[in-house]
Amino acid sequence: MAEIRNYTMNFGPQHPAAHGVLRLVLEMDGEVVERADPHVGLLHRGTEKLAETKPFNQSIGYMDRLDYVSMMCNEHAYVMAIEKLLGIEVPRRAQYIRVMFDEITRILNHLMWLGTHGLDIGAMTMFLYCFREREDLMDCYEAVSGTRMHATYYRPGGVYRDLPGTMPQYEVSKWHKKKDVDRMNEARQGSLLDFIEDFTRRFPKMVDEYETLLTDNRIWKQRTVGIGVVSPERAQQLGFSGPMLRGSGVEWDIRKKQPYAVYDELFFDIPVGVTGDCYDRYLVRMEELRQSNHIIKQCVEWLRNNPGPVITQDHKVAPPKRLDMKGDMEALIHHFKLFTEGYCVPEGEVYASVEAPKGEFGVYLVSDGANKPYRVKMRAPGFAHISAMDEMVRGHMLADVVAVIGTMDIVFGEIDR
Amino acid sequence: MSKKAVSALCEKLVARFPDSQAVHSAQDQITLEVPAEQLIETCTALRDEKDFAFEQLVDVCGVDYSDYGNVDWTTERATGTGFSRGRDVVEEKTTAWEKPRFAVVYHLLSHSKNQRLRVRTFADSEFPKVDSVIDIWSSANWFEREAFDMFGIMFEGHPDLRRILTDYGFIGHPLRKDFPLSGHVEMRYDPDKKRVVYQPVSIAPRINTPRVIRHDNRYGGESLPEVKEEQQGS
């Protein structure tokens, strides 16, 4: 009798469907996966170590680079941890701005997920559609912070600046004719809030478009229904959070259950799956797109009617206005101290978590009273999800591994830190 | 968690675990300090008993306390006497930390009771060893691997305690406080050998912003320590 042995296969580190740098060692029996051993850490940058050597504010930028498709949500968890230890109040307008941008970020993230997940299992069009809408949201990021991705917009005590009154416009160039530019600039004539409102009006139709392409699509269903099923008990045991947990039917969303910022004043629903397979998680995320859109609408409405400060007036933590520094000695001193030394955070420890698009993103901060954190631990949702890879793909076909990686919404920035 | 829920859970914890070293809460978050030998017993109770029902282990985090409270500059004289530049570079560093060097911090979450708890256990510096909670919560698997990788804390009973985030063949535990920020080795492509080589780091460590602790009365800490009158010089 011929000798039969399992075949060990390397998936990645460089593989278009690995969503970054994932090396997956697969033990195969024919085309069936016997065991999966993900090797992560290829993108390890030592963010936690770096944060220990920098004043608190200088690490906000690192948070963007953790989960680099849900930038502002990471910042939110970090600044919330600092705020809790400092015991400072955040102005309400800043909280609404934060919630609005958290939800914009959620849409950004889910569009990225939908596009790449679609691309992975054979729906090329999704990728193009999703990136079309992402462009508009990136412009919102740019309008408010100057960068399209790594915003560093949230600061302890509020947000860096108020929403701008104008939107950046396209200009006529070699690639864009006057007619096209006029069309692209049509929604950009007013303020940022006008632009976002216009987006929220357009967006539900876009989600309908995505759903016509996928939800009842036979190929999509063949690739996702019954793949990577996780029972609610296992989902809890494995440390799942976010859509991965809700897809399995556990009704849990930090925005509802342990509301932070102003989520307790907003109306939205939490979609929950039934079977816990890839298709349910897809449906959950699609509904979250609509719900996020709904939240953004409410925030725009509130922000229009309630002007006010967007950052705390405590200048030990937040810098004074540039203009004040010209004539006020104390403002100048505050500014100087803040940017040379930072601020000292009282001794203690705190865990702050937000419902990031991928799940629970938490920051555990230990301070010994210095101007730098003593220890920062980022709890990345993706880390817990990918650790369940072995359990989820065991017994599935090789092609389903790609579907499972897609449904986990993996980004290596946060897993490897 | 609301203040009421926090105090209610605190009371239950004190009643249930009289041997635990401390139950305290700050910022509406509860910490339970457990002696290392009771960790498994306590965690099992925390998961299974209906008052606690912590179904999920959210995070496992190592902490190295060996540098706790150390600063690069002392700054007390500046606020105490007013006129000096107010900084003394600290040469000798001795930490005021009295508990064991390493801690493992577990963050627990109960979906059904909607409550959170932080459990901390300590491990000494010679050979840090803590029992693995992997049989209680499966999510501990990778989190413990990470704590092992970063701090060298051994988790007894873990089936597959390999390094996870650092390079293949990495030496040392990077998040320990005695591990330099720039590491020990760097990697480059050697055109002569036509392969990647490792060599000792060429970057000198430097501090951009010194670490300082300023006592701030606003946060209700202890008041400023007595400044010794210095006669010479001034």
Contacts of A116 (CB under 8 A, 6+ apart): A19, A127, A406
Residue by residue, DSSP assigns A124-166 as HHHHHHHHHHHHHHHHHHHHHHS-SS----EETTEESSPPPSS
SS (H, E, C) chain B: CCHHHHHHHHHHHHHHCCCCCEEEEECCEEEEECCHHHHHHHHHHHHHCCCCCCCEEEEEEEEECCCCCCCCEECHHHHHHCCCCCCEECCCCCCCCCCCCEEEEEEEEECCCCEEEEEEEEECCCCCEEECCCCCCCCHHHHHHHHHHHHCCEEECCCCCCCCCCCCCCCCCCCCCCCCCCCCEEEEEECCCCEEEEEECCCCCCCCCCCCECCCHHHCCCCCCCCCCCCCCC
- Whether pLDDT at B164 is above 80: yes
Distance separating alpha carbons of residues B79 and B214, to the nearest angstrom = 9
Burial tier of A282 (Cβ tally within 10 Å: 0-12, 13-18, 19+): buried
- Rounded mean pLDDT, B52-62: 90
Provide the pLDDT for residue B217. Answer: 63
Contacts of B234 (CB under 8 A, 6+ apart): B81, B83, B84
Residue by residue, DSSP assigns A190-223 as S-HHHHHHHHHHHHHHHHHHHHHHHTT-HHHHHH
B74 within some domain: no
Lowest mean pLDDT among A23-27, A64-68, B10-14, B19-23: B19-23
B147 within some domain: yes
Distance separating alpha carbons of residues B80 and B229, to the nearest angstrom = 10
Own/partner pairs, B50-54, CB within 8 angstroms, 24+ separation: B51/B12, B51/B16, B51/B113, B52/B12, B52/B16, B52/B110, B52/B113, B52/B117, B53/B110, B53/B112, B53/B113, B54/B108, B54/B109, B54/B110, B54/B115, B54/B117
B229 within some domain: no
Quickly state the pLDDT bin for B169 (edges 50, 70, 90).
Answer: confident
Is A103:A299 a contact under the CB 8 Å cutoff?
A: yes
* Of B99, B109, B152, B158, nearest in space to B131 by CA: B158
- ipTM of this predicted complex? 0.86
Chain A residues in contact with B175 by the CB 8 A cut-off are: 48-49
Provide the pLDDT for residue A110. Answer: 93
Burial tier of B136 (Cβ tally within 10 Å: 0-12, 13-18, 19+): buried
Chain A residues in contact with B216 by the CB 8 A cut-off are: 344, 346
Distance separating alpha carbons of residues A277 and A279, to the nearest angstrom = 5
Mean residue pLDDT of chain B comes to: 81
Q: Which residues of B46-82 are buried (b: 16+ CB within 10 A; e: fewer)?
A: bbeeeebbbbbbbbbbbbbbbbbbbbbbebbbbeeee
Chain A to chain B, count of Cβ pairs less than 8 Å apart?
A: 135
Largest Cα separation within chain B, whole Å, is 69
Q: Which of residues 351-370 of A touch B (CB under 8 A)?
A: 351, 353, 360, 362, 364, 366, 368-370
Provide the pLDDT for residue B226. Answer: 47
Q: Which of B29, B146, B211 sits opposite A351 (nearest CB)?
A: B29
Q: With an 8 Å Cβ cutoff, are B105 and A44 in contact? A: no
Quote the Cα angle for A395-A397-A401, to 5°: 95
Is A130:A102 a contact under the CB 8 Å cutoff?
A: no
Lowest mean pLDDT among A136-145, B1-10, B51-60: B1-10
Distance separating alpha carbons of residues B187 and A126, to the nearest angstrom = 40
Whether chain B has a CB inside 8 Å of the CB on A25: the answer is: no
- Rounded mean pLDDT, B3-24: 77
Q: Compute the nearest-CA separation of B84 from chain A (Å).
A: 16
Distance separating alpha carbons of residues A39 and A218, to the nearest angstrom = 33
B126 within some domain: yes
B108 within some domain: yes
Q: With an 8 Å Cβ cutoff, are B212 and A371 in contact? A: yes
B179 within some domain: no
Q: List pLDDT tens digits, range B74-133.
A: 766 555 555 545 566 666 667 777 888 899 999 999 988 888 899 999 888 778 889 899
Q: Which of A46, A258, A346 sits opposite B174 (nearest CB)?
A: A46
Distance separating alpha carbons of residues A271 and A286, to the nearest angstrom = 9
* Of A358, A386, A239, nearest in space to B134 by CA: A239
A24 bridge partner residues: A11, A38
Is A254:A262 a contact under the CB 8 Å cutoff?
A: no
The enclosing H or E element of A352 equals strand A348-356
Q: With an 8 Å Cβ cutoff, are A384 and B142 in contact? A: yes
Residue by residue, DSSP assigns A9-53 as EEE-SB-GGGSSB-EEEEEEETTEEEEEEEE--TT---HHHHHHT
Chain B residues in contact with A49 by the CB 8 A cut-off are: 174-175, 179, 181
Whether chain B has a CB inside 8 Å of the CB on A377: the answer is: yes
- Whether pLDDT at B71 is above 90: no
Chain B residues in contact with A48 by the CB 8 A cut-off are: 150, 175
Q: CATH no. for residue B17?
A: 3.30.460.80
Provide the pLDDT for residue A122. Answer: 82
B106 within some domain: yes
pLDDT in tens, chain A (417 residues): 667 677 888 887 877 777 778 888 888 888 888 889 999 888 898 899 999 999 999 999 999 998 888 899 999 999 999 999 888 889 999 999 999 999 999 999 999 999 999 888 888 888 899 998 898 899 999 999 888 889 889 999 899 888 998 888 888 888 888 898 988 888 888 889 999 999 999 999 999 989 998 888 888 998 899 888 999 999 999 989 999 999 998 989 999 888 888 998 999 999 999 988 999 999 999 999 999 999 999 999 999 998 889 998 888 888 888 888 898 898 998 899 888 888 888 888 899 999 999 999 999 999 988 889 999 999 999 999 999 999 999 888 888 888 898 898 888 888 988
Distance separating alpha carbons of residues A52 and A62, to the nearest angstrom = 12
Answer positive or negative: Cα dihedral of A293, A295, A298, A302. negative
Residue A138's CB is within 10 A of a number of other CB atoms, namely: 16
Tell me how far CA of residue A4 lies from CA of A25, A83, A98, A170, B231, in angstroms: 19, 60, 58, 62, 87
DSSP for residue A175: S
Provide the pLDDT for residue A195. Answer: 92
Is A357:A217 a contact under the CB 8 Å cutoff?
A: no
B171 within some domain: no
- Quote the domain boundaries for residue B154: 1-65+101-165
Q: Which of residues 235-254 of A touch B (CB under 8 A)?
A: 236-239, 241, 250, 252
- Rounded mean pLDDT, B172-198: 90
Distance separating alpha carbons of residues B163 and B152, to the nearest angstrom = 10
Is A412:A24 a contact under the CB 8 Å cutoff?
A: no
Distance separating alpha carbons of residues A278 and A157, to the nearest angstrom = 39
Report helix angle A124-145 to A92-120, nearest 10: 160
Chain B residues in contact with A388 by the CB 8 A cut-off are: 138
Distance separating alpha carbons of residues A133 and A149, to the nearest angstrom = 15
> How many independent structural domains does chain B possess?
1
B174 bridge partner residues: none
Q: Compute the nearest-CA separation of B27 from chain A (Å).
A: 7
* Of B179, B183, B181, nearest in space to B152 by CA: B179
Q: Which of A350, A368, A387 sits opposite B142 (nearest CB)?
A: A387
Q: Compute the nearest-CA separation of A348 from chain B (Å).
A: 8
Largest Cα separation within chain A, whole Å, is 92
* Of A54, A341, A347, nearest in space to B69 by CA: A347
Contacts of A4 (CB under 8 A, 6+ apart): none
Q: List pLDDT tens digits, range B201-223.
A: 888 888 888 888 877 666 655 54
Q: With an 8 Å Cβ cutoff, are A239 and B56 in contact? A: yes
- Whether pLDDT at B231 is above 50: no
The radius of gyration computed from the CA coordinates of chain A, to the nearest angstrom, equals 23
Provide the pLDDT for residue B233. Answer: 39
Residue by residue, DSSP assigns A371-402 as SS-SEEEEE-HHHHHHHTHHHHHTTSBHHHHH
